[in-house]
Structure 1
Amino acid sequence: MSERLFNEDFFKKLNKINMHINFKLSSGTQGGRKSKAKGVSVEFSDYREYAPGDDFRRIDWNAYGRFDKFFVKVFMEEREGIFNFFIDKSKSMDYGAVNKKDTALKTVVALSYIALNNLDRVNISTMDNGNVESIKSAAGNKAFQRILRELESLEFKGSTDLAKSIKKRPLSPRGVSVIVSDFFNNQGLKDLEDALKYLAFKKQDIILVQILSEEELNPEFNNEITFIDSETNENIKMSLTPNIIKEYKATLKVYKKSIEDLAKKYGGKFISVSSGMEIEEIILGEFNKKRVLY
């Protein structure tokens, strides 16, 4: 899967960028993120007066000479970031000449690679029919190949119930949660807001990644057509006209703006991409525009 989806040049580009995180971590094992916790890493943070039990090796003798008091150096301990990926694997994601599910998997794989390469922890969960299944939590570069194998075997089927699925996933406070979906479901925006409330309660930085096919973004004029809901099998016959297509695009634009507004309400970010875009353009372009990467 890695040879088919990514080339050596792309991985070189990924090595130069990092996931942006909006807070300092106070829990988790040692990693590459700055923590609120004080520790003994190599980056100096501050001084404080010596207290019984402190390590004598951390006494600053220059400060003692100037103030006739013992001061110890305090360093900023580094912690690992925790990135939680939620992949919508409902049937509606299995659509498009350039399939939405392939773009979704490429996006998660790329972001997982970046996180693991920066000593962060990656948790990947898949969602359908209100259920959630988790790929084993992973940290370190060796975990990357296992993530590729797990994602390669995914089947996209069933329906979407984001809130029900996400609420079944226990989350540690402080982390980044990335939801990858087309956000097409019968519950509408209320379902999405319920999911965002849960993630905000768990103190997650929220990133919503919407993936739509070119057929959904720019439907062609094709006279009479039958629309079939891939998740419910309901169908509607309709005669497409330029005016109907124009109205559809306007409605889709409003819907996307509503999702973006919801994301902002809970301190999150919204990124909408076409499955026809190259993965480099998505990761190095659209994510960078939203300051998710730096």
Structure 2
Amino acid sequence: MSTDQLVPKDWAGKLSRLSISTRSKLRGQHKGSHRSARFGASLDFSDFREYAPGDDVRQIDWNVYARTDKYFIKRFLDEQEMRVHVLLDSTKSMGDPLKWTFAKQLAVSLGILVLQRDDRLSFSVVTTEKKPPFRRKGATYRKAFTQTVSELKEPTMIQSFVENAPIFLPKDSTVLFVISDCLESLESWERLLQKLPKFAGDIRILQIVTSDELAPSYTGDVQLEDVETSHQLNVSMSSRVLETYEQERKLHQRGLELLSSKFGVKMVQVNAEDGISHVLFHQLLRANWVQ
């Protein structure tokens, strides 16, 4: 898929109004567009503080001294970079064309938000091959990142996403985005969520669903196949079957939400059919994931 097919040509321009929002402590000493909670020596003035022994005398404001006959020093905001990692699920359940295209659009959009703010982006796909992550900083790499995601092959992995995810994660992220359909068992998700806090201070899961997953439209006698195990099941669709499915789906969803809350992980469910603009400019804004 070409980059023009994945996202519109003017997509980066539209995203320029947004940035990743986080309260997590920023890491690293490299300059970025985000301000940390501590004070340093950038050019952005914060306030005054009365001089104390040991302070740098070069920071004394002599104009204030002339007015008050007291020594005050200037405090400046320290700028640090945000380090964001985007982790993409590529198991076969993500292989629905609509779902997979949408997942890549999400990954590209988040990457652009990071790179255009001069922050550091890393990106990895959980596959059977352990490849080095994409790691870049700065707006000049937006096109290269978009191309990288555009060229991803259709998902074919049949191994567990949640069991393999940790080996694809760096340990120096400010924010971690996990893009997945979250269809694996609650027990396996609990094991992963327990581990994620050591990789980032701010963890966010984007759960991708489709309308057919939320409300199946099948009728009559159908043969269902698990795309990851190839297990086949003959089912006669009825209101009772659909009700049972809906109960199980809601039970799984509620379990995911409870686990996320338990481990301090943020989670937003997004429907691939709503489109990338709706998700970025409405859902993620309301969730305060972007600003």
Structure 1 residues 135 and 150, CA gap change in structure 2 (3 angstroms): farther
> Which range moved further: 32-41 or 222-231?
32-41
- Aligned counterparts of 1:53 and 1:273: Cα–Cα separation in 2: 51
- Whether 1:231 and 2:228 are equivalent positions in the alignment is yes
For the 8 Å contact 1:221–1:242, the answer to whether it is kept is no
For the 8 Å contact 1:59–1:71, the answer to whether it is kept is yes
- Aligned counterparts of 1:10 and 1:149: Cα–Cα separation in 2: 14
Counterpart amino acid of 2:221?
A: E
Counterpart amino acid of 2:271?
A: S
Give the unaligned 5+ runs of structure 2. Answer: none
Q: CA deviation at 1:35?
A: 1.3
- Whether 1:141 and 2:143 are equivalent positions in the alignment is no
- Whether 1:115 and 2:117 are equivalent positions in the alignment is no
Counterpart amino acid of 1:150?
A: T
2:151 to 150, 153, 158: 153
Q: CA deviation at 1:41?
A: 1.4
For the 8 Å contact 2:85–2:122, the answer to whether it is kept is yes
1:268 to 256, 261, 265: 265
Give the unaligned 5+ runs of structure 1. Answer: none
Q: CA deviation at 1:94?
A: 0.6
Counterpart amino acid of 1:75?
A: F
Q: CA deviation at 1:256?
A: 1.5
Q: CA deviation at 1:109?
A: 0.4
Counterpart amino acid of 1:71?
A: F
Identify the residue that residue 12 of structure 1 maps to in structure 2.
13
Identify the residue that residue 284 of structure 2 maps to in structure 1.
287
Identify the residue that residue 124 of structure 1 maps to in structure 2.
123
- Aligned counterparts of 2:141 and 2:28: Cα–Cα separation in 1: 21
Q: TM-score, normalised by structure 2?
A: 0.89
1:210 to 199, 207, 210: 207
For the 8 Å contact 2:88–2:179, the answer to whether it is kept is yes
Identify the residue that residue 245 of structure 2 maps to in structure 1.
248
- Aligned counterparts of 1:265 and 1:134: Cα–Cα separation in 2: 31
Aligned identity (percent) is 24
Deviations 1:179-199 (A, max 9, x none): 1011123xx112222222222
Q: CA deviation at 1:5?
A: 2.8
Structure 1 residues 75 and 280, CA gap change in structure 2 (3 angstroms): same
For the aligned residues, what is the CA RMSD?
2.3
- Aligned counterparts of 1:173 and 1:151: Cα–Cα separation in 2: 22
Q: TM-score, normalised by structure 1?
A: 0.88
Q: Secondary structure at the match of 1:165?
A: helix
Structure 1 residues 202 and 9, CA gap change in structure 2 (3 angstroms): closer
Deviations 1:213-247 (A, max 9, x none): 33222211321111111111111111111221122
1:195 to 180, 192, 196: 192
Deviations 1:115-173 (A, max 9, x none): 111222111011135x6534321111111111122112222111242343232145344
